[in-house]
Amino acid sequence: MNSKYIKIRKVNDLKRLGKIDVWVPAIGIGTWGIGGYSYPDYSLDSYYIEVLRYGISLGMWLVDTAEYYGGGHTEELVGEAIKVFPREEVLIVTKVWGTHLRYDDVLKAARNSLRRLNISYIDLYLVHWPNPSIPLRETMKAMEKLWYEGLARFIGVSNFSLIELKEARSYLNKTDIVVNQVKYSLLDRRVEKDLLPYMEKEGILLMAYTPLEKGVLAKDPRLAEIGKKYGKTAAQVALNWLIYKENVMVIPKAANKKHLEENAGAMGWRLAREDYEYISRLFS
């Protein structure tokens, strides 16, 4: 039996990756700050490895990282953490930094990420930020090459506006962008204007980063009050409000096991439509 099938039954809250028949959990794990921010920090390595393993085992088997995080060390920690799982049971997302977007630099960055992650393919490879000083055509051609060679199963972008997303797609011949990872939370709903509707129409998954606004939403008394009805916390309501939309998934970062449990508990149920709409108005 296909192992993903077992996961589907186990998590029961999945999002479609682009238009293809590949599904990912509605909630994954963010890793910014795990193993350092812009520079490596080795002091908590064994703790972070255990935390990541714990989060994955709770059903958040998509891990978001980047070559930039911890100066590369975050990828090393993710690589170490996933060793205990069958490779096909975790979905690794990593990103090429904005200064590495020339054709050869993209290929080199991907190879370096593969080495640090200690894997033979990246599940989803993203362009971290657009860089107007490097032709996007060149970047996307390199991304497509990585896909063609099987080094990246799927490709996508991050922090791309609607215009940039359309342009990026226009340079791809054989594959398409399956994800745009952008900032989206109850306190930052800019994507709803034009990006989200376009992505919905085109079947591109929106991977929402900073979905808890760095923990601020977890302290919101209004969300806590609504959550009581469901036996859920403010953080769980904030995440559930995001994944209510069919093509939105979230990647909260948590280095605290209690937070991981709480975030995993935001999956597998949905707010009632009237509560969803009430919260939408409350934070409009």
Residues lying near ligand NAP in the complex (CB under 6 A): 30-32, 64, 128, 158-159, 181, 209-215, 218, 235, 251-256, 259, 262-263
- Alpha-carbon distance of 102 to 108, in angstroms, equals 10
With respect to ligand NAP, which residue has the nearer C-beta, 113 or 181?
A: 181
- Alpha-carbon distance of 275 to 221, in angstroms, equals 15
CA-based nearest residue to 185, from 214, 163, 165: 214
The residue annotated as part of the active site, out of 39, 47, 48, 69, is: 69
- Alpha-carbon distance of 54 to 261, in angstroms, equals 9
Q: Please report how close the Cβ of residue 35 comes to ligand NAP at its closest, in angstroms.
A: 11
Q: Please report how close the Cβ of residue 81 comes to ligand NAP at its closest, in angstroms.
A: 14
Strand partners, 95: 126
Dihedral pair phi/psi, residue 36, rounded to 5°:
110, 165
With respect to ligand NAP, which residue has the nearer C-beta, 8 or 162?
A: 162
Whether 5 is a known active-site residue: answer no
CA-based nearest residue to 270, from 30, 22, 26: 26
State which residue has the least CB distance to ligand NAP: 30
Q: Please report how close the Cβ of residue 50 comes to ligand NAP at its closest, in angstroms.
A: 14
With respect to ligand NAP, which residue has the nearer C-beta, 172 or 255?
A: 255
The neighbour count for residue 68, using CB atoms within 10 Å, is 22
Strand partners, 29: 63
With respect to ligand NAP, which residue has the nearer C-beta, 233 or 247?
A: 233
Q: Please report how close the Cβ of residue 269 comes to ligand NAP at its closest, in angstroms.
A: 16
With respect to ligand NAP, which residue has the nearer C-beta, 170 or 256?
A: 256
With respect to ligand NAP, which residue has the nearer C-beta, 35 or 252?
A: 252
What residues are labeled active site? 69
